[in-house]
Amino acid sequence: MIEMIAAMVLVAIIVPGISLIVRGTLMNIAFTNIALQANMDADFAQRKFALHLDGTSSFTNGTLNDTTLKFTSGFNGSTYEFQIRSATRSISYKKASGALGLLLQNVVVDTTIGETNYKSKFVYKDQKNQTLESPTNETIYGVELTFYLARGDNSFYPYTTYVVLDKNSLNI
């Protein structure tokens, strides 16, 4: 009987410690899976963005700002438009007058938490890698896409991709 009581006391001491270890391990696995999924989504979006911009023949002046990018492909002459959309928290794209496609969702468009501002945007660069305040087809040398993916409560994963344009690559 004494052995049984001693065993119960020992189990009562050990079980809470083990449950904390198991809980911590399961939480780490969950956070790792969330980060992994965010990285996979971002990788897809970055590759698709670079693929579309590769071979750009011209940009549409007047439609280039931090949430809209419109250009003409040198491969097929089609006009494409990328938009960072606040209402749907997404980055979308469409070809000419085609249907709107979804590139990425759960995008933090413009949010400030504490001292930090999270703003997803297109940034247009010149040949010296300086940000263009008034981008035009003639002055754009590269396009940078910065976006933040929201996962969980106030967990934002930042991503940036930069595409340098070679408008002459199609003339070879």
First CA to last CA across the chain, in angstroms? 90
DSSP secondary structure code for residue 171 in this structure? G
Pairing mode, strands 101-105 and 116-119: unpaired
| pLDDT (average), residues 11-21 | 87
Amino acid at 122: F
C-alpha torsion 26→28→33→34, nearest 10: 120
> What percent of the chain shows pLDDT beyond 90?
44
Residue 144: the pLDDT is 95
In this predicted model, what pLDDT tens digit does every residue of 118-169 receive, in sequence order? 999 999 999 899 999 999 999 999 999 999 998 876 688 899 999 988 655 5
Beta-bridge mates of residue 105? 90
Residue given tokens 């009581």 in the structure block: 5
pLDDT digits (tens, 9 = 90+) for 44-75: 999 999 988 888 888 988 889 999 999 998 77
Mean pLDDT (the chain, rounded): 88
pLDDT tens profile 37-48:
889 999 999 999
